[in-house]
């Protein structure tokens, strides 16, 4: 698939996105690429390989409305940061108790994923670094906004958001919150992120772990090659 039509899968999206990120950033030392788990990690892997940067995960979980779990009334991110859509909460009549219960459940899932993905490794240092937040696309941008604010709280030197495809309105909103947005494809008739991938199957935990291992092996090999 060409860029005007979309991408074959997330890795393909990452391979197209990576040179755009590299061109916009130029030469950067000690960059950190964070893939929003799970679907953003295969995309982020390609970006990290191109930048020869450290790859890690950043877990964001949607807080769904009770009975309508696909409708986000908020999001919670790594580190316990929570962003709520108070207008939607009020319109749907969701109680504080329901929001708290869902937040606690999603927090446990974040902790489970981080333990699995890192396998005992500490979370990466963010302060003072150029951080590239990567996802497979931007629809409403709500989850990405939660990730941005959670990362900003750790004081990166520069915060970049990179996605292969995004809705124009969402891109405009994210551009105001990040230091730089890289999105090579912004179709006017967006509909949904999955519309722009031929293969948009769910990313598994095993795939996330393998992406992290692959990027770590690549960096280690590069370091040996250059005698670092």
Contacts 24+ apart (CB under 8 A), 123-126: 123/56, 123/78, 124/32, 124/34, 124/54, 124/56, 125/32, 126/32, 126/151, 126/154, 126/155, 126/156
Which DSSP string corresponds to 46-80? HHHHHHT-EEEEEEEEEEEETTEEEEEEEEEETTT
Which DSSP string corresponds to the chain? --TTT-BSSHHHHHHHHHHHHHHHH-S-SS-EEEEEETTHHHHHHHHHHHHT-EEEEEEEEEEEETTEEEEEEEEEETTTEEEE-HHHHHHHT--HHHHHHHHHHHHHHHHHHHHHHHTTPPPPP-TTSEEEEE-S-BSS-HHHHHHHHHHHTT--SEEEEE-S-B-HHHHHHHHHHSSEEE-S---SS---GGGGBS--PPPPHHHHHHHHHHHHHHHHHHHHHTT-
Q: State the pairing for strand pair 32-37/130-134.
A: parallel
* pLDDT score of 104: 93
How far is the C-alpha of 62 from the C-alpha of 76, rounded, in Å? Answer: 6
Task: Kindly report whether the global pTM for this prediction surpasses the value 0.85.
Answer: yes
* pLDDT score of 4: 62
pLDDT in tens, 82-96: 999 999 899 999 999
| The pair of three-digit structure tokens given for residue 71, joined into one six-digit string | 């409708």
* pLDDT score of 145: 93
Beta bridge partners of 82: 76
pLDDT exceeds cutoff 60 at 110: yes
pLDDT in tens, 5-29: 789 999 999 999 999 999 999 888 8
Q: How confident is the model at residue 158 (pLDDT cuts 50, 70, 90)?
A: very high
pLDDT exceeds cutoff 80 at 222: no
Q: How confident is the model at residue 140 (pLDDT cuts 50, 70, 90)?
A: confident
* pLDDT score of 221: 83
pLDDT exceeds cutoff 80 at 1: no
Domains of the chain, each with CATH number or no CATH: 10-60+129-225 (3.40.50.2020)
| The pair of three-digit structure tokens given for residue 85, joined into one six-digit string | 């859509």
């Amino acid at each position: 698939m060409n860029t005007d039509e979309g991408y074959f899968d997330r890795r393909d999206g990452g391979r197209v996105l990576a040179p755009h990120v590299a061109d916009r950033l130029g030469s950067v030392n000690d960059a950190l690429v964070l893939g929003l788990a799970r679907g953003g990690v295969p995309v982020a892997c390609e970006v990290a390989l191109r930048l020869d940067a450290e790859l890690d995960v950043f877990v964001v979980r949607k807080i769904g409305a009770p009975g309508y779990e696909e409708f986000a009334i908020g999001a919670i991110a790594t580190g316990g940061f929570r962003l709520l859509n108070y207008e939607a909460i009020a319109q749907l009549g969701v109680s504080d108790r329901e929001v708290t219960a869902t937040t606690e459940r999603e927090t446990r899932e974040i902790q489970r994923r981080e333990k699995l993905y890192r396998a005992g490794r500490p979370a990466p240092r963010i302060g003072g670094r150029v951080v590239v937040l990567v996802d497979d696309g931007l629809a409403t941008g709500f989850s990405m906004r939660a990730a941005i604010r959670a990362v900003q709280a750790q004081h990166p030197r520069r915060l970049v958001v990179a996605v292969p495809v995004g809705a124009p309105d969402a891109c405009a909103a994210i551009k105001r919150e990040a230091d730089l947005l890289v999105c090579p494809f912004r179709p006017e008739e967006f509909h949904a992120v999955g519309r722009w991938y031929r293969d948009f199957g769910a990313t598994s935990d095993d795939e996330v772990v393998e992406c992290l291992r692959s990027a770590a092996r690549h960096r280690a090999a590069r370091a040996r090659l250059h005698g670092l």
